[in-house]
Amino acid sequence: MVKLKKLLNRFNKKCLKALILLISVALLAYGIYPSHAQVTHLKVEASTTLLKAGFINNITLTIFNDFENVYELYASLSFPSSIQTPNAPTVLGASYWKFEKIARNSKVEIPVAIFVPDNAAGNAYTANLALTYKRLGYISTYTEIHSLGFYAKGWIDIILYDLTVDPNPAYPGHTISFTANILNKGNVPAMFTNVSILKNDLLLFNSESSSYLGQLDPNSPAPFTLEAVVNRTVKEGNYTAIIIVSYEDNEHELHMVYYKTQFEIIKLTGETQAKPKSVISYVADYLFSKWFLIVLVAGLILSIGYAVFKFKRKPSEGT
């Protein structure tokens, strides 16, 4: 009887060990233990990894099934937010989708609307796409977590406003100036900003024909003035000058924006030309010149002095 009890105890211990071993294998197979890497059978791709900050971005997620027929697939997309990743993008509208079946060697596409805040520009974010589905012959569902990396790209929109030309009309051989305000309507600074006049045969450039503005912060307007000399050989007519704005974005990519402005050129004729002076004009100019006034005052002083001198000498002569 004692031997039988010992045999039963040994048998129970072996069964318990076997049961523990089976449970451990099952837990590893389902990915509960962190030491076990998750096995993914489906593939996921995003139509783009760039999201424009300050906008609603419409992208497409594609799920490829190169595994086997899967059933009752549920897909859920989310952007985890934390202290390290503030201002995370937000999925607008539906963020949860269901598909009854995805056959082997087929795919499904999911349209997604993602809003990215302005202050998210320049940050990288990770979205988690959870896929839960059933397999033929299995009772339990299987879940895959796919991580998708996105970059929130800032944008720059340069505009010129209150653009004026002075003088207009302009004259050959004379200076003409272009004055305007420049504004960055984007959400990241424009770096190394420079404005200049496009070179042509119409205008002769000088040191004032370009202006370096440096960093142009969002919503911070800055004035500038460009000058040039109208070529003396230019004929009368309406002309166009082109102003170039060049800058670099936060990814050091060079951009150039062109703005056109119209102005007129006329020659100095009629009243605008200098007429030859007559003798009367020269005399009038001399009479009203400062030198004539100086001479006149000096003559008056000398005359008065001479008269006083003569007046004082008369009594002495009578004695």
HSE, CB side, 13 Å, CA atoms: give it for residue 151.
8
Residues 262 and 183 in one domain: yes
Task: Return the pLDDT at 32.
Answer: 37
Residues 219 and 132 in one domain: no
Task: Return the pLDDT at 301.
Answer: 77
Residues 149 and 177 in one domain: no
**Neighbour-count burial of 245, counting CB atoms closer than 10 A to its CB (0-12 exposed, 13-18 middle, 19+ buried):** buried
**Neighbour-count burial of 82, counting CB atoms closer than 10 A to its CB (0-12 exposed, 13-18 middle, 19+ buried):** exposed
**For residue 240, what are the domain limits?**
158-269
Residues 136 and 220 in one domain: no
Residue 124 identity (one-letter amino acid): A
Nearest Cα to Cα of residue 41 among 125, 157, 122, 138:
138
Residues 62 and 109 in one domain: yes
Residues 131 and 237 in one domain: no
Total domain count for the chain?
Answer: 2
Q: What is the mean pLDDT of each run of 10 residues along the chain (319 residues)?
A: 46 44 38 51 95 95 95 94 78 94 95 94 93 92 95 94 94 94 95 94 92 95 95 92 94 94 84 48 52 66 70 55
Flag whether the pTM goes above 0.75: no
Last residue of a domain, one of 123, 153, 183: 153
CATH of residue 89? 2.60.40.10
Task: Return the pLDDT at 306.
Answer: 65
Task: Return the pLDDT at 147.
Answer: 95
3-state secondary structure of 294: helix
CA dist 190 and 118 (Å) reads: 15
Whether residue 30 is contained in a domain is answered as: no
Last residue of a domain, one of 109, 132, 153: 153
Whether residue 318 is contained in a domain is answered as: no
